[in-house]
Amino acid sequence: MEDTTGSNPQSLGFTEKLKSWLSWSWTYVCFIWFGMVLIMIYVLWSPLKLQETLTSASVFLNTLTPKFYVALTGTSSLISGLILIFEWWYFRKYGTSFIEQVSVSHLRPLLGGVESSSTTGLFSSVNGEAEPRPSVSECKVWRNPLNLFRGAEYNRYTWVTGKEPLTYYDMNLSAQDHQTFFTGDTQQLKPEDAVMQKAWRERNPQARIRAAYQAIEMNHECAAAYVLLAEEEATTITEAERLFKKALSIGKDGLEYTGTGKDINLLVYIKRRLAMCARKLGRIKEAVKMMRDLMKEFPLLGMLNIHENLLEALLELQAYADVQAVLAKYDDISLPKSATICYTSALLKARAVSDKFSPEAASRRGLSTAEMNAVEAIHRAVEFNPHVPKYLLEMKSLILPPEHILKRGDSEAVAYAFFHLQHWKRAEGALNLLHCTWEGTFRIIPYPLEKGHLFYPYPGCTETADRELLPSFHEVSVYPKKELPFFILFTAGLCSFTAILAMLTHQFPELMGVFAKAFFSTLFAPLGFFADKMESFMPSSFWHQLTRI
């Protein structure tokens, strides 16, 4: 047994060496095979009577009418056109070429290549050292800290436009969050908690509301049921606030008696939503106080990103000193970044110089230290999330933000711009400075997928996740912009070329026949020249004996 296990590494090493040698020699094997095929054709030219076969084939082709060639080229154009339409549809939907994907997935391993999904590349960090690129957290979906209310906001949009602002994938993630936060241990569920656990999973909003009322009938002190009614049934923010306050009174009593993690999560969620209700109803100072108290009472719940709600409320108050104090705590190198952190920092630095900024004056005298700091902050923010500027500059239309976002993705850009566009407009000249400088970021990082500047290289999976989070009527922003795959260009050229041939053959049959004969005679001229040279170089007796063999 020991001998067997000891010989396994050697056998594996020999197998890997054999695969690498075959992969390396594949190109040369193709050339050798092609040469052997040419030699075999020449050797078997007389025994197989290939000359007579070619003569009869040429006679057959000469008897064909021009209509046959028109039909042939027209069919080729039709087939290539259908392939082109399918390739274009597949590229628009999935962002890649179907033929290329099949080739990479199935043909490349057979040719000795390695699948790209099984490799972990190395990327350069900020200091130039090689670091493994993070693969798990880079495309993690996060709860949107500023998500809207379904009944009072999302449903009103649906009533007016007839469009669904939330995707099923997004709502399913919210259902999982609510089950995790509010139900706790599934083995010790109360009857009303079991009903609520099923209610969060219901796809139909009316079914969720009916389940919430059923839970209240079973226990009038079911805080989670009032939370669901505030989120789903309340058609105004005032009504939602009333239901959240009732849930808060119940939740405080439950926390005093039990103190379980479920009750703490429920209490934090209710207080946060009450602060957001106050913010939406114009009681901004009250909302700021509630958020600050919540962060002091539960300092370990930083993953909920309550500081982003606080930043937005402080910006509405124009309390820029307080905003800077919050950024000093959370804009740390050891903490995860977000578009809110990066772009708020850029806004504060741009606000200090934007009112007097002029591109013409800056080009003449150069940038001052404060202007340089503002431009660098904008470049830093754009590198983190390059989708935001188009929404802030109103180059793309905004939609309602989803309930979950992907950091550095289009969903995060929509969520940030939806709430912070007004703050950028309030700072005089800030959008003008952003307009003049944001595209310079792409000169600093010309290859964002391979190497970053201040952050890790831009993740390549954001487009797929954003298409799941954002509604279908929204055109997802893609970065970096993808070029058309080779096979789309190839099929487009083939379709056009064969269509032109069909048209010319139909209009000028005799002229195209002369052209085709001249083309094929020129094409096969090197082969005839090669055969003549072989006959003059080798003695005829040698070829005679070889053909007899």
Give pLDDT, residue 70. 77
343 and 472 share one domain: yes
Given 304, 338, 358, which residue is the final one in a domain?
304
- Asked if residue 218 is part of any domain, the answer here is yes
Q: What is the largest CA-CA distance in the chain?
A: 109
Q: What is the pLDDT of residues 121-159, one digit of tens each?
A: 333 333 334 334 444 345 788 899 999 999 899 999 999
CA–CA separation, 364 and 237 (whole Å): 52
Domain boundaries, position 331: 141-145+323-481
CATH of the domain at 186: 1.25.40
Task: Give me the pLDDT at residue 181, please.
Answer: 77
pLDDT for res 479: 80
Query: Rounded distance, CA 74 to CA 67, Å?
Result: 10
Q: Has residue 128 been placed in a domain? A: no
The answer to whether residue 50 is domain-embedded is: no
282 and 330 belong to one structural domain: no
pTM above 0.75, yes or no: no
Please give the Cα distance from 378 to 349 (Å, whole number): 9
Residue 255: what pLDDT?
54
Same domain, 267 and 365: no
Residues 331 and 234 in one domain: no
pLDDT, tens digit, for every residue of 26-72? 656 667 777 777 777 666 666 666 667 767 766 666 666 777 777 87
CA 216 to CA 195: how far, in whole Å? Answer: 10
Q: Which of 391, 394, 366 is nearest to 381 (CA)?
A: 391
Looking at 243, 273, 304, the residue that finishes a domain is 304
* Domain count for the chain: 2
How many Å apart are CA 44 and CA 50, to the nearest integer?
8
Asked if 235 and 264 touch (Cβ cutoff 8 Å), the reply is: no
Q: What is the pLDDT of residue 363?
A: 75
Ranges in the chain, pLDDT < 50: 1-10, 12, 111-137, 256-257
Q: What single-letter DSSP state applies at residue 187?
A: G
Name the token pair of 364: 């003449």
Judge if 280 and 366 occupy the same domain: no
Residue 543 to residues 2, 32, 527, Cα–Cα distance (Å): 59, 21, 18
